[in-house]
Structure 1
Amino acid sequence: MKVIATTRKAQGTGASRRLRRADKLPGILYGGKEPAAPIELEHNPIFYALRKEKFHASILTMELDGTEQLVVLRDFQMHPYKPQVMHIDFQRIDPNENVTMRVPLHFHGEEESPAVKLDKAIISHAVAYVEVTCLPRNLPEFISVDLSKMESGMTFFSQNLVLPEGVTVEADVVIASVIKPVEEEVTVADEAAPAAEAAPAPAA
């Protein structure tokens, strides 16, 4: 995915406000051996790109003043109630150095699991992503999580994930767990109560 930006010459709150009125987006590019650089981008392409999962978990190509470099999205701020991006941060990436990124998880197979099919349990997804470390060229777009073997009482940890070559998970965390449904117990007294309430009062 490609991002086109230019160096932002005017800075400050007033300058950023003027950029936003012109449908521009102020941002900053930092990291690597170069100093942080204020940048500006077209607002709408970024606004719609932020709706895509891939934009948040991919190595991006930024064309800054005609020169391309690798970057990743690090942060952004939205307007409290308007559909408007207020500010965005990118970090430079060295293609030969490891990068740590959040990668989304795609769950599948839970309907076929013994926990769901046989025990009528529910598989709860504890997290939606994990942090991985790898070289930029090895960064996966997402990680598939196969829950088809889950049984009652089981917990799926990040160490159980099948990861692409060269990719490691930063911390061992719970990915999913089986939750047994709560069954309501109905006592004989509870069943009899409605009948007793419905019985007519004795004649005087």
Structure 2
Amino acid sequence: MTEHVDVYWSFRSPYSYLVTPDLMQLREDFDIDVHLRPVLPIAIRSKDALFTNDRKPAQYIVMDAFRRGDFLGRTINWPTPDPVVQDFATFAVSDDQPYIHRLTGLGVEAERRGKGVELAYHVSHLIWASGQEWDKGDHLAEAVAKAGLDLADMEKTLEGCDPMTDIEANQNALEAAGHWGVPTMVFKGEPFFGQDRIDTLRWRLEKAGLKKT
């Protein structure tokens, strides 16, 4: 049985976007499966964990994500529209969230179809790197097609199969693994939090004898 890495991942996280090329490379370099486990962003799951009256944590994350993108040579732009409807003056999160629930559901359905990482890669690049209004026209459908999937067919399936059961299970599994943030990669119960821990995960996989020869 092939070993696997579970990746707890959010469409609203710039670091989740930045890790997607590394996730694709893991499968090339190691004899493992990589399972996408989409979760809702912290702004929806636990707003007070990050978005408080102290603006410094949120400001630092934005600054650091753009710096990390520059360091990695990976284009990053703040999404238009933001996948989470949120007032950055007050950090108030709207009760109406048309984008993030749709995107997270698509992530769940893509993983069901064996294309979770591919969808995460292409759709997150549309959202975080293209500079386009990603929800307009055929942009999303085209990104999904690059992952080898059909947007209309996926959304038809999701109409009759609520993805929240899977999303909540993923969120519970993330907490059980000992973390709360994204991206968190988990191998044999050991969590590796953050895009900058990908090299540590690769080291662990090598020690487990999983590097392809």
Which has the bigger relative contact order, CA under 8 A and spacing at least 6? 2
The structure where strand makes up a greater share of residues is: 1
- Alignment TM class, shorter chain as reference: under 0.3
TM-score with structure 2 length normalisation? 0.22
